[in-house]
Structure 1
Amino acid sequence: MLTVGVDLAADAARTALARVRWTPGGARVEGVVVGVDDAAILDAVPEAAKTGIDCPFGWPDLFADFIAAHRTGHVPPQQDDPQWRRPLVNRVTDLVVREQTKLVPLSVAADRIAHPALRCAPLLAELSRRGTDVRRDGTGAVVEVYPAASLRRWNLTHRGYKRAANAARLADLVDALQAAAPWLDLAAAEPLCRTSDDAFDAVIAALTARAATLNQTTTPTSAQHPAALTEGWIALPTGPLAALTQ
């Protein structure tokens, strides 16, 4: 089995893609590339059993409704209390992640993560046009992932390893991942994972995609499912790293 992980940025320069090949009892990283354009992503997704993409798949439904109402001049009066804005800027899945992990996903409606999401939306649309199942609830060929939350679920360092200033912590995190998952062979990708947090996150995205294929990630309840189909759903691992080798 092959899983792919994509750490999607607003531009190709900071976008990374990892391929992980799974065999009985283990896995090997077949390659990680940083500087990935849309064409490479569109080619990689159909090759994999599942692709984990670190990017919101949609916007909050209430936010979309608000923007539509604003365009036509039909926004109802609101109270001075700013709390009314909170449901507009958080997706259902964002609230679930916050509740279950104590992490706060960036708001696709009110933060810079919107820029990668604007790139992701036409990618998902093009994959769909090519016949790939891209249901945003993660049941198709792609699944939304959040590497920091996956790392936390797997009892690994989940913050403080980003950017060049934290290179030493990133290298320590690679060591910790190898100790926790001795069955994972980073192969030729190891040096890049030690120096690029984008490359490392792409590998974590591919591991989370594997968890999703094994039904070892959170899924929406029946009440949450309609929102998951439009807003997206972050798959959180529900089992240990070792369970990925089954």
Structure 2
Amino acid sequence: MLTAGVDLAAETAGTALATIEWSSSAAVLRSLETAVPDARIAAVAETAVSTGIDCAFGWPDEFVEFVAAHARGERIAGELAGMPWRRTLAYRETDRVTREVTGRWPLSVSTDRLGLTAMHCAALLECVGDRIGPVDRSGAGRVAEVYPGASLRLWGFGTRGYKTDASVRAGLLAEFGERMPWLELGAMADLMVADDDAFDAVVAALVARAHALGLTPPPPARHLDSARREGWIALPPRDLAEIAPAEWRSADPR
């Protein structure tokens, strides 16, 4: 089994790609690249059983409807223009569920710093779709929206400062060695310490393993239609043993 993880940026320069090969006894980091173009990601996605991409796959339905209505010059009713209404434009349903599960809001794709990256993601999903068929943004397929920071917190790792401080990432890798002895990073661990994008790409590939095994909860039926437009964050199980290679799961090294 090969899984892939992408830490997407607004441009190629900040985009990282990782692949992990899974056997019954180990998970081996086979590649870790930075400044990765879309065509390379699409080619890897064609060979992977699951590809996790760290970026929102779409915008809130309410936000899309608001922008379209505003462009048509339609009036906004005064009682609807308060902060509670604006929050419906800022967050997708999957963002609300993620907050319930993790205790923290994801960045808003419509009001925060993700807009340009989400535009890139829309183009990337089309590029990937040209190789493997249309991407289902709800995660019902071989591509999933992932959230590395939230996944690390679900697994019990501290995430404060890891995006900006190499020493924090080095500490996290030491914890990885203790809690995931089956994960073989080799010399590429140095790049994970040096580059936070590379670090998140590896985490995304780990979450892709959970997605491939069917361990990431799908959207509830009532939200499935909107998730196919907005996207849905694939959250892994809290127990890392559930994604471990089979021999480690049966041995239960805890």
With normalisation by structure 2, the TM-score equals 0.92
Distance 1:34 1:148 in 2: 19
CA contact (8 A) 1:16 1:33 kept: yes
Q: What letter is aligned with 1:103?
A: R
- Alignment partner, residue 85 of structure 1: 86
For these two proteins, the number of residue pairs brought into alignment is 244
* Post-superposition offset of 1:84: 1.3
Distance 1:58 1:115 in 2: 12
Matches within 5 A, 1:1-246: 1-79=1-79, 81-163=82-164, 166-244=165-243, 245-246=245-246
* Post-superposition offset of 1:86: 0.6
Return 52-61 or 190-199, whichever deviates more. 190-199
* Post-superposition offset of 1:62: 0.6
* Post-superposition offset of 1:157: 1.6
CA contact (8 A) 1:148 1:159 kept: no
Distance 1:133 1:154 in 2: 31
Distance 1:53 1:38 in 2: 12
Distance 1:24 1:133 in 2: 31
CA contact (8 A) 1:30 1:187 kept: no
- Alignment partner, residue 249 of structure 2: none
* 1:38-58 Cα distance to aligned partner (Å, 9 max, x none): 121121111100000000000
* Post-superposition offset of 1:168: 0.8
SS in 1 for 2:152: helix
State the 4+ residue runs in structure 1 displaced beyond 4 angstroms.
Answer: none
CA contact (8 A) 2:2 2:22 kept: yes
SS in 2 for 1:224: helix
Q: Return 5+ residue gaps in structure 2 as ranges.
A: 247-254
Distance 2:17 2:44 in 1: 9
* 1:38-84 Cα distance to aligned partner (Å, 9 max, x none): 12112111110000000000000010011111111114323363221
SS in 2 for 1:223: helix
SS in 2 for 1:140: coil
* 1:217-239 Cα distance to aligned partner (Å, 9 max, x none): 12111111111111000011124
With normalisation by structure 1, the TM-score equals 0.95
Distance 1:75 1:52 in 2: 40
